Amino acid sequence: MSVTNKFKKQILCIGAGYVGGPTMAMIAAKCPDYKVTVVDINAARIDAWNTDHLPIFEPGLLEVVKISRGRNLFFSTDVDAAIRDADIIFVSVNTPTKTFGEGAGRAADLQYWEKTARNIVKCSGSDKIIIEKSTLPVRTAAAMERILNANDKGIHFEVLSNPEFLAEGTAIADLENPDRVLIGSQMNESGLRACQEVVDIYAHWIPRERILTSNVWSSELSKLVANAFLAQRISSINSISALCEKTEADVKEVSRAIGKDCRIGSRFLNASVGFGGSCFKKDILNLVYICECYGLTDVARYWESVVLMNDYQKRRFVQNMLRVMFNTIAGKRIALFGFAFKADTGDTRESPAIDIARQLIEERAHVVISDPEALENAAHDLGECGSSSVEYVGDPYKAVAGAHAIAIMTEWKLYMELDYKKIFDSMEKPAFIFDGRNILDHQKLYDLGFNVFPLGTTPLKHF
Ligand code: NAD
Ligand code: UGA
């Protein structure tokens, strides 16, 4: 029996990034009867997927990859051959915000998606199911159907939407035990048949009642709306953190009190220096753009305010640092603890730390960045800033020696476990801590001699 015939179906994923890699590793591990190939035009990324040094840091990912790599999971750069052989193609290429032309700064840049669609047409010799895994504007499937089915080979492509809801840092748990999987299709016979094929894949490990099916437009839109609602909660609590600082209320107590109401729920109510990550801002701006295109200006303004509030929170954080450090930070050494956009990832895309570092550098501070996983990305993000204003130091104790202030940017557990007495002794006095994630024991730090500035509550100052 040939390798190909051993398998029930051949699945291909185009795009071996944060979504494509982990998602396909989970499908391959749970569905040994399917052959899963992941391709990318980035050869270095594919090479890394074939080693034990995976191209992304994600807890538990290597273990899952190792279950099936070489058995029914393959990483390759041969995009064309993989398209030819596939029955089902997930497309998980990047869909960043457009930086040029109409809709620049808001609309989704669909060039990678469309190139992929055209390549699928070129390389295919048989009918295929094409699945939008990337996050896309509502009604993209209509354009894709048109491009794909305009072929003169008599091939039928059925386009489905199966957005991904995993969060970085918890991707493996999210994929293994998702709240739901969503599959959108056309409501005609071939759409529903294709939908069932994809349901069958997920049903290998996910209870049927958590596999939702819907029409393709609802599915596309639900992904944008889920991210918009999550980000809206963070902007809402961040706005309240500013009010708490003026009124001696404590935002953590407010979060706890409102979160006990099961209609509100307790998650995603941690005030922070701002949300980051590659998707929240891009997806909300895309939602804003779509609303504008349909003439829904008020709806657009409503969602845009979520992003504006996030910008305000980042700006406010630096303005506060400046004000309490006697209105000048020029020449002062400031250690940023964390640069990743959240803990347990090395990803720094849209990390609030990028804006904070830039604003501090603009004020002529000397910024020292420490992070257990993200220093390489940080150096790339701040490449234009030059070595005279920014340093990258892995060891937090070394990063902080001689510093005037520490600002917590990422909620890494290691920052909760440091010896802050040792840190205090090595710093310039008065020593300041700005806890942008509210993860430290503020009273203990104050007792050690620090001036402590948590988010959303009264500071603890010795002056
Ligand atoms: P990514 O940038 O990490 O990966 C995308 C990959 O696609 C890159 O490696 C790129 O080289 C590859 N690619 C681009 N064009 C290609 C082509 N023509 N042929 C082959 N490969 C090509 O992006 P990501 O974070 O994995 O996100 C992918 C999509 O998933 C986006 O739409 C994003 O909004 C969505 N999403 C991301 C997350 C997340 O946690 N990062 C979660 C849910 C949804
Ligand atoms: C988010 C969503 O949670 C996923 O469901 C979605 O699939 C994904 O975006 C996507 O489409 O890319 P992710 O960005 O990986 O996942 O991480 P989150 O846990 O959502 O955190 C996003 C940002 O919000 C981080 O900067 C985080 O620190 C911040 N955050 C989160 C807060 O500031 N407060 C909170 O209470 C929660």
pTM of the model: 0.96
* 455 C-beta closer than 6 A to ligand 2: no
Residue whose structure tokens are 């557990």: 413
Annotated catalytic residue 195: no
Phi, psi angles (nearest 5°) of residue 412: -60, 135
Question: What pLDDT is stored for residue 396 in this prediction?
Answer: 98
Q: How far is the CA of 115 from the centre of ligand 1 (A)?
A: 14
* 268 C-beta closer than 6 A to ligand 2: yes
Contact predicate 108/196, CB 8 Å? no
Which residue among 14, 37, 39, 40 has the greatest number of ligand 1 atoms within 8 angstroms of its CB, and so is best to mutate? 40
Whether pLDDT at 265 is above 70: yes
* Cβ-based neighbours of 110, under 8 Å, separated by 6 or more: 95, 136, 137, 140
Record: fold of 215-463 = Rossmann fold (3.40.50)
Q: What is the mean pLDDT of the chain?
A: 96
Question: What pLDDT is stored for residue 87 in this prediction?
Answer: 98
What pLDDT band is residue 387 in, cutting at 50, 70 and 90?
confident
Selecting among 31, 244, 279, 291, the annotated active-site residue is 279
What does 34-80 look like in DSSP terms, one character per residue?
EEEEEE-S-HHHHHHHTSSS-SS--TTHHHHHHHHBTTTEEEES-HH
* Cβ-based neighbours of 349, under 8 Å, separated by 6 or more: 276, 277, 278, 341
What pLDDT band is residue 384 in, cutting at 50, 70 and 90?
confident
What pLDDT band is residue 1 in, cutting at 50, 70 and 90?
very low
56-99 pLDDT tens trace: 999 999 999 999 999 999 999 999 999 999 999 999 999 999 89
Q: Which residues line ligand 1 (CB under 6 A)?
A: 14-20, 39-42, 45, 79, 92-95, 112, 115-116, 134-135, 164, 166, 168, 278-279
Take atom 34 of ligand 2 and give the residue whose Cα is closest. 270
> Do 215-463 and 4-206 have the same topology in CATH?
yes
Q: What's the mean pLDDT in 150-176? A: 96
Q: What percent of the chain has pLDDT over 90?
A: 93
What pLDDT band is residue 317 in, cutting at 50, 70 and 90?
very high
Question: What pLDDT is stored for residue 4 in this prediction?
Answer: 54
Question: What pLDDT is stored for residue 266 in this prediction?
Answer: 97
Which residue among 92, 136, 236, 272 has the greatest number of ligand 2 atoms within 8 angstroms of its CB, and so is best to mutate? 272
Separation in Å, CA 287 to CA 140, 280, 459: 13, 11, 37
Question: What pLDDT is stored for residue 2 in this prediction?
Answer: 45
Q: How far is the CA of 268 from the centre of ligand 2 (A)?
A: 8
- Give the number of whichever ligand sits closest to the CA of residue 123: 1
Going from N- to C-terminal start, the domains of the chain cover 4-206, 215-463
Contact predicate 445/433, CB 8 Å? yes
The minimum-distance atom of ligand 1 relative to the CA of 133 is 30
Q: What's the mean pLDDT in 133-150? A: 91
Whether pLDDT at 284 is above 60: yes
Which residue among 182, 229, 230, 286 has the greatest number of ligand 2 atoms within 8 angstroms of its CB, and so is best to mutate? 230
Whether pLDDT at 5 is above 80: no
What pLDDT band is residue 222 in, cutting at 50, 70 and 90?
very high
Class of domain 4-206: alpha beta
Whether pLDDT at 185 is above 90: yes
